[in-house]
Amino acid sequence: MNWPDQLQVNAWVDPQNANRSPVSGELQSGLLALGFAARASLLWPEREADQRDWSHPSVGWGLVLADDDAVSAKERATGADAPEALKGLLAARAGAPVLRYRKDRRVGTIRRYYADGAAQDLNIAATRFGTGRAELPRYLLIYGTPAVIPWMFQFELHSKCFAGRLDLQGDALQHYVDALLSEWRDGGSRLDRTLTWAVDLGPGDITNLMLHAVAKPLHQEFLGDTNLKAHAQFLDGSKGQATAAALIEAIAENKPSLIATTSHGRTGPLDDVNGMRANLGILVDGDSRNLDGNALLAAGAPAGAIWYAHACCSAGADAETRFGNLVPANTPVARILNGVAACGAMVSPFPRAVLGAKQPLRAFIGHVEPTFDWSIRSRWTEQFLTSAIIKTLYKCLYRGQPVGMALDACRQVSNSLLASFQIAKDELSSGADTLGDILALQLMAYDWRALVLLGDPTVKLPIQ
């Protein structure tokens, strides 16, 4: 055995003082007497689980239900009060935790019950991921209308977890769960096919900005992919192609796995709340016509696809607008914001219809409340702010990430904007002139935060 005979220390005194010494002979004989084991035991941390694998016990999937004090703690732990379709989903995903939203909760917490009757409030921001006791699953499916489990709670969960929502009942809920458990065996969507549809009402309209900031760069990514370019279809509103009829025909004929649309979402008539609720968020085409959801479903579409809809209220509305302090009262934007809020907390009819169809959509990504131009292009640098959307819909989904995980890129934008918003507020209190920045950052952060997932966060694009 070759023993080292010199030891040098990384220190410097002066040129006259050496920094080397011989190794102690006593140390050598002492080491030989230890009798080392053939293999040393090292206390390295275990490799982190693949976050795409929701079934791993240190990642986990769970169901979030509204709490009900009339149900026993043991029954609340198992979801005994859940609809039958969800009981079937829980049985198929054996061991999945059931968590509870309580109206009287402390902000930042979620309730969990256990089979032994115990209850525990978990801190959403700090709790360890997993399905074990005192752990929080990374993937969470919220069940219920936002009037019962608020949008704000979904925003809060998504700041830490990969959260989606289902607001379906009866046969519609059963259709979705059946498709989920079969992994859309009868869906028919094609992995190598994409469809981008972008309305363009001219340079002065936000649809023109969305076309250039979202639709075109996304389609360019598809064209640059050798597996997608042959069947990447773009219905360009600047060329008069973005009609509702063309969208329905393209989905029915090509059966794309990913559908990305940019357009206005219907928010009128503002003086007829019931009429507005019936059509809230429906896509409005280049001829100012609503997309006919019934015609789309009659064409057997869009079974098995993931749909991203960049449109006002495409996912729903809330009972209180988060943007009311940003514009003067009785201006056009204020009237729209207040009109939408009059609809109450709701999921828009279109995503509910396509997620609950006999051959349902996999997932729908859309916006709660209206969306804004400042959130698409920086008012200071003129830079597009939509790279996270492109990353989510192309690089993340087509690398096999579940949709909830893929949306994490957008969550990071929201968190970054919220941090900048808080910094601007702090600087204002110190005398800096940041009031304009505060208003802009508040709008941008809240707009990005309101991008939500409808459907189960574990679904992926079809594997073929």
pLDDT in tens, 360-418: 999 999 999 999 999 999 988 999 999 999 999 999 999 999 999 999 999 999 999 99
Report yes or no on 257 lying in a domain: yes
Structural domain range at position 67: 61-167
Is 52's pLDDT higher than 50?
yes
Question: Per-residue confidence at 347, pLDDT binned at 50, 70, 90?
Answer: very high
Instruction: Give the gyration radius of the chain's Cα atoms.
Output: 27
Decide if 253 is inside a domain.
yes
- Answer yes or no: do 103 and 217 share one domain: no
Tell me what pLDDT residue 448 has: 96
Domain count, the chain: 2
Q: Is residue 68 located within the same domain as residue 190?
A: no
214 shares a domain with 148: no
Q: How confident is the model at residue 43 (pLDDT cuts 50, 70, 90)?
A: low
Q: Do residue 314 and residue 362 come from a single domain?
A: yes
Mean pLDDT, all residues of the chain = 91
**CB neighbours of 32 closer than 8 A, spacing ≥ 6?**
none
- Domain termination site, one of 167, 186, 212: 167
User: Does residue 35 belong to any structural domain of this protein?
Assistant: no
**First-to-last C-alpha distance (Å) of the chain:** 57
Is there a domain that residue 190 lies in?
A: yes
pLDDT digits (tens, 9 = 90+) for 97-134: 999 999 999 999 999 999 999 999 999 999 999 999 99
Greater model confidence, 280 or 28: 280
Give yes or no: residues 138 and 214 share one domain: no
Cβ contact 403:365 at 8 Å: yes
Average pLDDT over residues 18-22: 72
Give yes or no: residues 208 and 138 share one domain.
no
Could you give the percent of the chain with pLDDT greater than 90? Answer: 80
The answer to whether residue 94 scores a pLDDT higher than 80 is yes
Q: Please report whether residue 25 resides in a domain.
A: no
Between 47 and 41, residue with greater pLDDT: 47
Q: Examine residue 160 and state whether it is found in any structural domain, yes or no.
A: yes
Last residue of one domain, picked from the residues 136, 167, 198: 167
**Cα 261 from chain centroid (whole Å):** 17
Tell me the CB-side half-sphere exposure of residue 372, using CA atoms within 13 A.
Answer: 24
Which residue, 154, 120, 222, 253, is CA-closest to 461?
Answer: 222
| pTM score | 0.89
Whether 50 maps to a domain, the answer reads no
With a pLDDT cut of 70, the percent of the chain lying above it is: 91
* Whether pLDDT at 16 is above 70: no
What pLDDT is stored for residue 36 in this prediction? 46
pLDDT > 80? residue 38: no
335 and 422 within one domain: yes
Does residue 314 register a pLDDT over 90? yes
Check whether residue 400 and residue 365 sit in a common domain.
Answer: yes
Are residues 225 and 161 located together in one domain of the fold?
Answer: no
**Per-residue pLDDT tens digits for 178-235:** 999 999 998 889 999 999 999 999 999 999 999 999 999 999 999 999 999 999 999 9
| Residue 15 pLDDT exceeds 80 | no
Residues in contact with 20: Cβ distance below 8 Å, sequence separation at least 6, in sequence order: 6, 7, 8, 9
Of 24 and 374, the one with more pLDDT = 374
The pLDDT tens digits of the residues spanning 293-306 come to 999 999 887 899 99
At which of 167, 195, 223 does a domain end? 167
Q: Are residues 310 and 263 in the same domain?
A: yes
Do 327 and 191 fall within a single domain? yes
Same domain, 154 and 246: no
Rounded average pLDDT over 44-49? 78
- Asked whether residue 137 carries a pLDDT value surpassing 90, the answer given is yes
Residue 19 within any structural domain of the chain: no
